[in-house]
């Protein structure tokens, strides 16, 4: 048996491969991105980056009904985008197995909220499985495909950041020889019109009852009796933390977290003197168990905000530092807030917008960092693709003159994800708002995935390259300007001109991400002539991490500088010079 150290995300991809999946779709989003990047390495699986999670799941539903085992992957907020498709496919069900891998982000390491995907399983009446290490990630995905086909349902496999990005040993097995099923042309199953859907509602409830029976017997739910004085009901990564804190306790590890195995849970509680329910985020198990009249301790002591850890659990249960190992990491480690990279495409854009005192409706991407010091150039950022609609909302509320001092900014990949519809609405409803598409030639924030305007697909093959300018023209935008993001004088001129116009304007700022693998942008680092420098600090206004103040002297760190030259455009004394390679 071959064994390999794997990330949880890699193990999910391996599980889909071994289960005989032939289709995989996703939109990149931390902490789920690597799932699909690893899947793409398997030639047997037709893999794609979809334009958003809804389209990804719709393709997955189509391929499942057409007979192919399919894996669809996304982060938790991506499931919001795909929710319409999820809720609608629940009643008709599947043909071949359909597994939806969703990565939640407790602690909000890279997300705008801490929502708990288990609620979606309950809401949609579909089963939810939760692995607690990489081996289980692989095994649970394979089991999820079996459950999906046995019970005619999509299955959610929920992981969290620590499962996605931690490593453990995985035993590799051969790929199952699963043939693509015949397509069953069945309108009474797959057309979710009211007359059909009303009947399928009963089917969904009957399926849920069968899944409850299955949960009682499934080995995915594991009981391990040790000391009966203390019992722990837990799941996922919290199981690993609890094993560390309570090595002698009895455990009920729930691998099927919806529907819950009521009889198994009740049996476990009755055999233990005191039982804690320790789950990350929401008290989903706890509330259900208490509704059955069973006594457990949960969120009375366990925090419901942020990710758990062994230390947090130990402190919560014992409620005293005497029992704790005091690591005090937060106070001892230096703070490292995220910043735009040296040479970043977005820096000049936000410098100009701040200078002009423009109201900026922002979006989700690297450029969200433009909201923070020293740029301080973004006023709102709510969710993927919202910038255009929100800017138009400001125009509606404040009047058309407000649009003269307002723009929406959105990245290239985010625009394809969910910005197009906002732009179409803006044109159709005759707004005045100016939209700036920040085109840095890649989906940068999640690790440089390709998108519809990069010219490549997930496997690196040449793909159609959709053009922003042509798209804008096709929907009726007359005012379209393209400009180098670091040509700040020209950019300022364009922003002033387009925001003054009494119709929709589209500005595309172009410059490749400085870390782009296919496009070389790094030049020799710049230097500062200290004889010419007056230490006026104007160059510090752009917030480049390569420039710093040292004992009242402005200096450039050559290890960080990429030679983009933006800082030299801030200097009124010609003190910043090109370096030598």
H or E segment and range at residue 23: strand 23-26
Q: What is the mean pLDDT of residues 56-73?
A: 97
Residue 330 is predicted with a pLDDT of 55
Q: What is the mean pLDDT of residues 183-205?
A: 92
Question: How does residue 334 score in pLDDT terms, banded at 50, 70 and 90?
Answer: confident
| Residue 245: strand, helix, or coil | helix
Q: What is the mean pLDDT of residues 4-16?
A: 98
Q: What is the mean pLDDT of residues 372-379?
A: 91
Does the pLDDT of residue 183 top 70, yes or no? yes
Residue 580 is predicted with a pLDDT of 56
Cis-peptide, bond into residue 374, ω within 30° of zero: yes
Q: Report in angstroms the alpha-carbon separations of 320 from 161, 246, 361, 370, 563.
A: 28, 16, 46, 41, 53
Cis-peptide, bond into residue 259, ω within 30° of zero: yes
CA atoms within 13 A on the CB side of 264: 25
What is the C-alpha separation between 130 and 78, in angstroms, rounded? Answer: 18
Strands (E) across 304-458 are located at 359-361, 406-411, 434-439
What is the C-alpha separation between 374 and 181, in angstroms, rounded? Answer: 57
Known binding residues for [4Fe-4S] cluster are: 533, 536, 539, 544, 561, 564, 567, 571
Does the pLDDT of residue 327 top 60, yes or no? no
The string of pLDDT tens digits covering residues 116-136 is 999 999 999 999 999 999 999
In the chain, what percentage of residues exceed pLDDT 70?
97
Residue 519 is predicted with a pLDDT of 86
Question: Which domains, ranges and CATH numbers included, belong to the chain?
Answer: 3-217 (3.40.50.970), 222-332 (3.40.50.920), 345-510 (3.40.50.970), 527-577 (3.30.70.20)
What is the C-alpha separation between 115 and 496, in angstroms, rounded? Answer: 40
What is the C-alpha separation between 433 and 417, in angstroms, rounded? Answer: 20
**DSSP code string of 516-575:** -SSS----PPPEE-TTT-----GGGGG--TTEEEETTEEEE-TTT-----TGGGT-SS--
Contacts by 238-246, CB closer than 8 A, 24 or more apart? 238/278, 238/279, 238/280, 238/308, 238/313, 239/132, 240/132, 240/133, 241/278, 241/308, 241/309, 241/310, 241/313, 242/278, 242/313, 244/310, 245/310, 245/313, 245/314, 245/317
Other CB atoms within a 10 A radius of the CB of residue 147 amount to: 24
Query: Tokens representing 163?
Result: 């499962």
Residue 324 is predicted with a pLDDT of 38
Q: What share of the chain is helix, strand, coil (3-state, %, to 5)?
A: 40, 20, 40
Residue 404 is predicted with a pLDDT of 87
Q: In the predicted model, what is the mean pLDDT of the chain?
A: 93
Does the pLDDT of residue 321 top 60, yes or no? no
Torsional class of 552: left (φ above 0), alpha (ψ -120 to 50), beta (otherwise): left
Residue 331 is predicted with a pLDDT of 61
| Residue 185: strand, helix, or coil | coil
Residue 119 is predicted with a pLDDT of 97
Does the pLDDT of residue 292 top 60, yes or no? yes
The string of pLDDT tens digits covering residues 214-253 is 999 999 999 999 999 999 999 999 999 999 999 999 999 9
Residue 105 is predicted with a pLDDT of 95
Question: How does residue 338 score in pLDDT terms, banded at 50, 70 and 90?
Answer: confident
Known binding residues are: 533, 536, 539, 544, 561, 564, 567, 571
Does the pLDDT of residue 342 top 90, yes or no? yes
Question: How does residue 508 score in pLDDT terms, banded at 50, 70 and 90?
Answer: very high
Phi/psi for 580 (5° steps) reads: -115, 140
């Amino acid at each position: 048996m071959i064994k390999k150290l794997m990330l949880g995300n890699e193990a999910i991809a391996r599980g889909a491969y071994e289960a005989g999946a032939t289709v995989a779709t996703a939109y990149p989003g931390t902490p789920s991105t690597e799932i699909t990047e690893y899947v793409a390495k398997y030639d047997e699986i037709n893999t794609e980056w979809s334009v958003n999670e809804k389209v990804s799941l719709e393709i997955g539903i189509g391929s499942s009904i057409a007979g192919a085992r399919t894996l669809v992957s996304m982060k938790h907020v991506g499931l919001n985008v795909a929710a319409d498709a999820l809720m609608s496919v629940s009643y008709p069900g599947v043909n071949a197995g359909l597994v939806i891998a969703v990565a939640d982000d407790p602690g909000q390491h890279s997300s705008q909220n801490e929502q708990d995907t288990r609620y979606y399983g309950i809401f949609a009446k579909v089963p939810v499985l939760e692995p607690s290490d990489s081996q289980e990630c692989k095994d649970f995905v394979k089991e999820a495909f079996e459950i999906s086909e046995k019970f005619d349902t999509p299955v959610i496999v929920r992981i969290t950041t620590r499962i996605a990005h931690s490593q453990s040993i995985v035993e590799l097995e051969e790929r199952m020889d699963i043939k693509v099923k015949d397509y069953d042309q069945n309108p009474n199953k797959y057309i979710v019109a009211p007359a059909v859907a009303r009947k399928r509602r009963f089917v969904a409830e009957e399926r849920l009852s069968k899944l409850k029976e299955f949960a009682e017997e499934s080995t995915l739910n594991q009981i391990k009796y040790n000391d009966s004085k203390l019992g722990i009901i837990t799941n996922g990564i919290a199981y690993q933390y609890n094993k560390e804190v309570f090595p002698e306790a009895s455990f009920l590890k729930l691998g099927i977290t919806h529907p819950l195995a009521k009889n198994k849970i009740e049996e476990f509680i009755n055999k233990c003197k005191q039982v804690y329910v320790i789950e990350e985020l929401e008290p989903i198990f706890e509330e259900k168990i208490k509704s059955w009249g069973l006594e457990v301790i949960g969120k009375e002591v366990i925090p419901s905000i942020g990710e758990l850890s062994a230390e947090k659990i130990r402190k919560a249960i014992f409620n005293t530092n005497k029992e704790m190992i005091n690591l005090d990491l937060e106070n001892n480690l230096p703070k490292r807030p995220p910043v735009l990279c040296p040479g970043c495409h977005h820096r000049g854009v936000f410098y100009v917008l701040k200078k002009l005192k423009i109201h900026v409706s922002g979006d989700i991407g690297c450029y969200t960092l433009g909201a923070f010091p020293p740029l301080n150039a973004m006023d709102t950022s709510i969710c993927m693709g919202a910038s255009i609609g929100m800017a138009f909302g400001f125009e509606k509320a404040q009047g058309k003159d407000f649009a003269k001092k307002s723009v929406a900014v959105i990245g290239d990949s985010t625009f394809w994800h969910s910005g197009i519809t906002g732009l179409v609405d803006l044109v159709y409803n005759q707004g005045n708002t100016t939209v700036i598409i920040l085109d840095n030639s890649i989906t940068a924030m999640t690790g440089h995935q390709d998108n519809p305007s990069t010219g490549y697909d997930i496997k690196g093959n040449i793909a159609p390259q959709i053009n922003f300018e042509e798209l804008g023209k096709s929907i009726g935008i007359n005012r379209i300007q393209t400009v180098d993001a670091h040509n700040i004088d020209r950019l300022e001129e364009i922003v002033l001109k387009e925001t003054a116009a009494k119709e929709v304007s589209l500005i595309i700022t172009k410059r490749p991400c400085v870390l782009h693998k296919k496009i070389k942008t790094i030049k020799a680092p710049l230097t500062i002539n200290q004889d010419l420098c007056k230490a006026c600090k104007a160059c510090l206004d752009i917030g480049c991490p390569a420039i710093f103040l040292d004992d009242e002297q402005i200096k450039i760190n050559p290890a960080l500088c990429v030679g983009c030259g933006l800082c030299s455009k801030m200097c009124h004394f010609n003190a910043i010079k090109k370096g030598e390679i």
